Amino acid sequence: MTATTASGHSRAGAIFRVTSGNFLEQFDFFLFGFYATQIAAVFFPASSEFASLMMTFAVFGAGFLMRPLGAVVLGAYIDEVGRRKGLIVTLSIMASGTILIVLVPGYESIGLLAPALVLVGRLLQGFSAGAELGGVSVYLAEIATPGNKGFFTSWQSASQQVAIIVAAALGYALNQWMAPAMIADWGWRIPFLVGCLIVPFIFLLRRNLEESEEYAARKHRPARAEVLRTLLQHWATVLAGMLMVALTTTAFYLITVYAPTFGKTVLHLSTADALLVTLLVGVSNFIWLPLGGALSDRIGRRPVLVAMTLLTLASAYPALTFLVNAPSFLHMLVVLLWLSFLYGLYNGAMIPALTEIMPVEVRVAGFSLAYSLATAVFGGFTPAISTFLIQYTADKAAPGYWMSFAALCALGATLFLYRRSRGQLQPALS
């Protein structure tokens, strides 16, 4: 085996080990969104299905409110102690939240303690995820070969799509094997249990993760207080980064986490059809994300980011209007595959761009904070906001307005952060 081949295998192994935690995070998040109606009935019974579902999505979104705190606390910790140790800590906290949700009895058994414990589980997951994405993305950027940072970092998001595919396939299988009443009673817990069972395997993978050479060679390791001061000094860059991430988080949670509920409750498609569409969207995302990263390596981040935001502004609401006017499995698949294309190319370029605009000494904390704020403000509450907009506007395509607003924010932030053409990064506040 040549040195080049060995190095390639080593990097491929590092990518697999570091993204395994991302798989677990998105696996659980998707399950919470897909089984929202069952979770609502078990933990959040209310006078109407709308009220019960809104409480469930509010708890789902509450986990995202913890992300900025996790980004600052755990992100600073990772910048101080290293990528390997920090990512093992985030995985431990994430696993604790997942196990808690699986084991909590329903409202009928323990009353208000049931939704309270589910909320605690979601808060733990959110706190951990606040630094998980940043830690993984920065690690991938630091081990990337020259000229391929976009392609390498795209595997952070690509690993999440594998989770969507596996979770959707598992849900589809359960829907075929079990009666709806049985799934609503206890069967919905089975996929969450599967997530718990793979935790030890992911721990073994993370234990063998090597520190990135770039971080290991760095002489200065900022203490957490210094990380916080640097973040405050670069607050405008973090804020602009948050707005740039807005389109990614909104689009992702719209076409994956919220899509099954949208298909069932709004379009009145079968559970099997909604799950199959979501599975195929996950496959589509997996294909477009690396292509978007590689394309941004070739022509620059800025052209890809600007083109995708403009296309989203022009097509998000019209596409959803077409879907709700003629709901069918085929139409839902076509529309979500189009939105998947927009999301995949945009996110493939956005992730490496976000690692590049942050000061190197606080790269994980800065990336994590910007990403977490975007997820808390935009993406995490996309299911709840979409449900609310549809209910109070009587427009089933109203989620398209929300996605268009996120695209407008992303376009403004991209133009603000990039001042030169040819994709050359020039933060306005460097």
The phi and psi torsions of 30 (rounded to 5 degrees) equal -65, -45
Cβ pair 360, 157 in contact under 8 A:
no
Note the pLDDT tens digit of each residue in 315-373.
999 999 999 999 999 999 999 999 999 999 999 999 999 988 888 777 777 888 888 88
How many folded domains does the chain comprise?
A: 1
Cα(220)–Cα(211) distance, rounded to whole angstroms? 16
CATH code of the domain covering residue 108: 1.20.1250.20
Note the pLDDT tens digit of each residue in 122-140.
888 888 877 777 777 888 8
Structure letter (DSSP) for residue 179: -
- Note whether residue 38 is domain-resident: yes
Half-sphere exposure of 340 (CA within 13 A, CB side): 26
- Note whether residue 430 is domain-resident: no
Domain that holds residue 186: 9-207+221-417
- Note whether residue 394 is domain-resident: yes
- Note whether residue 286 is domain-resident: yes
Query: Positive or negative CA dihedral for 318, 322, 328, 329?
Result: negative
Cα(169)–Cα(309) distance, rounded to whole angstroms? 31
Question: Mean per-residue pLDDT for 4-9?
Answer: 45
- Note whether residue 135 is domain-resident: yes
Residue 216's pLDDT band (cuts 50, 70, 90): low
Question: Mean per-residue pLDDT for 397-417?
Answer: 95
Q: Say what the pLDDT of residue 405 is.
A: 96
- Note whether residue 309 is domain-resident: yes
Residue 147 in tokens = 């000229």
Question: Mean per-residue pLDDT for 284-313?
Answer: 95
Cα(60)–Cα(121) distance, rounded to whole angstroms? 10
- Note whether residue 290 is domain-resident: yes
- Single-letter residue type at 94: M
Note the pLDDT tens digit of each residue in 100-128.
878 888 888 888 888 888 888 888 888 88
Question: Mean per-residue pLDDT for 216-229?
Answer: 68
How many Å separate Cα 45 from the centre of its chain?
28
